[in-house]
Amino acid sequence: MHEWHMTDSTDRQLAAQYEAYPYPARDPREESRRLVVGSPSHLREIDHWIFGARRPASQPLNALMAGGGSGDGTVMLAQQMAWLGRPGRVTWLDRSGHARKVATARAAARGLENIAFEEGSILDLPRSGLGPFDYIDCCGVLHHLPDPAAGLASLVSVLAPGGGIGLMVYAPHGRTGVYMLQDALRLLAPAEEPPPDRVEVAKRLWKQVPETPWLRRNPWITDHLKGGDAGLYDLLLNPRDVAFTVPELAALVAGAGLRIACLVEPLRYDPDTWLADPRLHARTARLDPVARAALAEAICGNMGIHIAYCVRAEDSPAAPPWEDDAAIPVLRELDGPTLARGLRPDGVLPVTWDGLRCTVALPRLAAAFLSRVDGKRSWGEIVAEVVAAGASPEQAARDRQALVRAMEPLNRLLLAAPAG
Ligand SMILES: C[S@@+](CC[C@H](N)C(=O)[O-])C[C@H]1O[C@@H](n2cnc3c(N)ncnc32)[C@H](O)[C@@H]1O
């Protein structure tokens, strides 16, 4: 193992963890039957939330996956770029050689040729000669670093002008119960012990704990049950993990000269989604965006992570051009005709996030629109077809807007990058 990237003994333990247990546990043979997709760094989300659906698809995208681990984000983005014939490259960067082997094998299994692999530390990026990058992913990494602010500053140092960063950090409320068991395991299996010994102790402890620890009552945290030894270690034995509330994340981001362009999913972070009382709405209306999101976090209590798309504070990219008839809407990981066929007769879309349900009211013409959203037709073409099928142009215009208002905050209806 190299020496240049360790900053303290806890960081050495962290490096040893990911060498012993690349995260997440992945078998390259599974690439033939499924692509792991998620946020941040879904290509549709980058196009929409970072670049406002204004950066041409023909412009090469130079992306960095900082702390790329076993390759989920790297493989997803590189595969999506390959499928759409998008030029550019995804650079995987991590200091775990074992994780590199897994990520490399996954890329090879898919025949992806648009990935570069770099073994090294995020903290050495400013001196690395790598970059600049149009997009940087840092998913589940900053909260393990000795100094998350220094880590983020390091990423910003290689961010191209006009570029953006997709972050995922832990959030405290949804992780209720995790830190108590981490405390217990620090006593039973100190971080200095070899990782496999600690895993064995953690498994024994989990079988023995009484009924009451909060983790037993937290059904939304399952890494220790479903994530194999890598998941168990990452959740309960990680030598360093710090959770960020929304205001703490906003402060971290602001400290790096960035601002949050989008918290995923936006509707989840809108307190009015969860509060029906107009008297309370009058109060939420007085809050700034960070306070509104902080309120949503506090009242929901189930957020275990935050996913944030960030841009430079001084950049004010225009909002996605929803009014542009030439713009092409896309449904992120949804099939338009299937979605349209499955809509309830009352036009209400049920949504569940970590056990928390809400309903989103869709306009009357929702099915007519959604059945035509295929990533190829433009808004203008879709509206023309809906009108030709019998809708009035006024109703079509109103319902198009209403559909966008309902589904963009779900992170489901987005705009594609323009062709070129
Ligand atoms: C929890 S894993 C996340 C992996 C991947 N981003 C994902 O979400 O699937 C954290 C990763 O960060 C890497 N890491 C931690 N500190 C690092 C540093 N200073 N430089 C580079 N990678 C680091 C670890 O080796 C590990 O692979």
Kindly report, residue by residue over 262-299, the tens digit of the pLDDT: 999 999 999 999 999 999 999 999 999 999 999 999 99
Of 62, 74, 56, the closest CA to residue 135 belongs to: 62
- Which tens digits make up the pLDDT trace of 387-403? 999 999 999 999 999 99
Q: Is 67 in the pocket of ligand 1 (CB under 6 A)?
A: yes
pLDDT band at 316 (very low <50, low <70, confident <90, very high): confident
Task: Give yes or no for a contact between 222 and 1, defined as CB atoms under 8 angstroms apart.
Answer: no
The pLDDT mean for the chain works out to 96
**If pLDDT is split at 50, 70 and 90, which confidence band does 7 have?**
confident
143 in contact with ligand 1, CB cutoff 6 A: no
Q: Probe ligand 1: pick from 141, 147, 236, 305, max atoms within 8 Å of CB? A: 141
From the CB of 72, is ligand 1 less than 6 Å away?
yes
Instruction: Tell me, using a 6 A CB cutoff, whether residue 140 lines ligand 1.
Output: yes
| 347-368 b/e (C-beta count within 10 Å ≥ 16 → b) | eebebebbeeeeebebbebbbb
Average of pLDDT values for 65-79? 98
How much is the pTM? 0.97
| Ligand 1: centre distance to CA 391 (Å) | 52
Query: In the structure, how many helices (H) and strands (E) does the chain have?
Result: 17, 11
Strand 133-139 with 115-119, pairing: unpaired
**Helices 246-255, 289-300: crossing angle, 10 deg rounding:** 140
Span 330-383, pLDDT tens digits: 999 999 999 999 999 999 999 999 999 999 999 999 999 999 999 999 999 999
DSSP string, 80-142: HHHHTT--EEEEEEES-HHHHHHHHHHHHHHT--SEEEEES-GGGGGGT----EEEEEEES-G
Q: Using 50, 70 and 90 to split pLDDT, how confident is the model at 6?
A: low
CA distances from 86 to 56, 58, 60, 77, 202 (A): 10, 7, 7, 10, 44
* Kind and range of the H or E run holding 334: none
